[in-house]
Amino acid sequence: MKADFPSFGTLIVSAAFVAALLAPPRVRAQGEPETATPPPAAEEPRLDLPEDGAPLPRAEMPEGGVEPDAAIAPKPEEAPPPAIESTPVAPEISLEADKQVGETEADYQQRKQGRLLQSGLKPPHISRAQGDYSGQTLEGLTLRFDGYLRVLADFIEDDERDYVGNNNGFRMAAARIGLYAGYKRDLFGYINLEAAFAPAGDLNDPNAQIAASLQDGFIGYQGLPWAEIWLGRFQMPYDVGTMESTRERTFIDRPLETRGVAPLQGNQLRGMSQGRQLGLMVHSSHLGLTDDGFDLGYAFAVSNGRTDTRIFNDNNSLALFGRLSAHYGSWVTLSGGAFYDQRTVGELPNLFDEDVFGTEGSLVVRVFHLVIEGQVLFQNIDRTTAGQSVQALGWHAQAAYQRYGFELAYRFGWYDPQLNDDEAGIPDRVMEHTLGLSYFVPNLPLRFSVNGTLASEELEIDNNRISLLTQFKY
């Protein structure tokens, strides 16, 4: 028996009815014919990247006649677009991060200054700016430059000797630049170069070539409450005249017993300064025993000895330095120091051994605007190869009064490089009277100084002098 099938028209009507039920509802515009074809779906406007740096194209204005500004303005309820991710800012370092329990603010700042072991004489050129991290990078590294320019004009009395008073005029006393690099708060490195360095030449050489030389170059750690550690090349903790910063000292030249007699100023003599050396130093200028009363400072250093600008040690021996300072507030500082150095001098194959011992005592008193300073240096050299012994003695006393930007100072210096030559009548003793006047320009890192020196030597040289200094420090 054959099955019955619906007619073709019935199938068409049924399919149309099913399609009408499944189609989404549509709102018909007024006047629009029922048979109008629905418009295609509108695409979202695109912002294509510009070419060759052309400005970005604007999105097309939406339908409805919205004002142009409103078309690009963000909706009030919408959150602003997220900012482009940038390099994160280094976290701020708290200034109190390493402050010790019970430590006063004065002691904390004093301990963290990283000063030279000059027992509070004057701030040195190496010090961290507390709270200043403007140069800090992502890794906590702070960079800072410092230095100074010192231009001199010397006028030395003419003597019958050709090497005294015949080369007057201008000279570059120092042109120094330094770089301090501190990591966070406790680790730092410091280096400075001097581009007006005059290397040692022949004895009483009336001239010298300008050269560049490394002065300081060391790594420091100051994270311990009782000590600061330096490793590299730096000034030894010995002799007030050496430890005082060049740009901060009262007179143009260092004390007589420290520097000796320089070429052109008289019969050249080397002073007792131990200068900069390569080594390791552990020190603390103030231990913080009291807030404003009695306090102690110390320094211990081991080095290659006085090898000047040589790269290696002069032998296999090391020099030892020790220094102790007693303070009463900021008023009085009494210091004592000593060193021992085994040296090898001369040139191959003619080398000679020397055992050098030195001791120092100094006193600094501050009374308001008046500063009084005194020092005694003694040195003994045993020339073991030659079987000779030489003793040297020198001292100075000075007073300086500073007021209204002016500083008036007087210094007396005495130096005998070979005490045992007195019996033989060798004229090498020197005395100097120096009067100094300085003016520090307000609000400018500029200083003008004039020093007049009356020199008296057993050699009877006409070498009185006047020196003029202009200094710019940064």
- All domains of the chain in start order, with CATH: 113-473 (2.40.160.10)
Mean predicted confidence (pLDDT) in 198-216: 75
CA distance 401 to 302: 37
**For residue 95, is pLDDT > 80?**
no
**For residue 317, is pLDDT > 60?**
yes
User: Phi, psi at residue 242, to the nearest 5°?
Assistant: -80, -40
Helix (H, G, I), strand (E, B) or coil at 107: helix
For residue 390, give both structure tokens. Answer: 């030489």
Listed range (191-200, 304-313, 354-363, 430-439) with the worst mean pLDDT: 191-200
Q: What pTM does this model have?
A: 0.70
CA distance 203 to 126: 33
- The model's confidence at residue 427, banded by pLDDT at 50, 70 and 90, is confident
For residue 5, give both structure tokens. Answer: 């099938």
- The model's confidence at residue 199, banded by pLDDT at 50, 70 and 90, is low
DSSP state of 384: T
Are the beta carbons of 168 and 156 closer than 8 angstroms?
yes
Amino acid at site 174: A
User: Each residue of 429-460: b (16+ CB within 10 Å) or e?
Assistant: bbebebebebebeeeeeebebebebebebbee
Q: What is the pLDDT of residue 84?
A: 46
User: Each residue of 107-122: b (16+ CB within 10 Å) or e?
Assistant: bbebbbbbbbbbbbbb
CA distance 220 to 231: 6
Q: What is the pLDDT of residue 35?
A: 45
Burial class (CB in 10 A: 0-12, 13-18, 19+), 294: exposed
Distances from the Cα of 238 to the Cαs of 2, 222, 370, in angstroms? 129, 21, 24
Calculate the CA dihedral of residues 230, 235, 236, 242 and round it to 10 degrees: -150
Are the beta carbons of 369 and 360 closer than 8 angstroms?
no
**For residue 370, is pLDDT > 80?**
yes
Q: Which residues pair with 400 in a beta bridge?
A: 371, 409
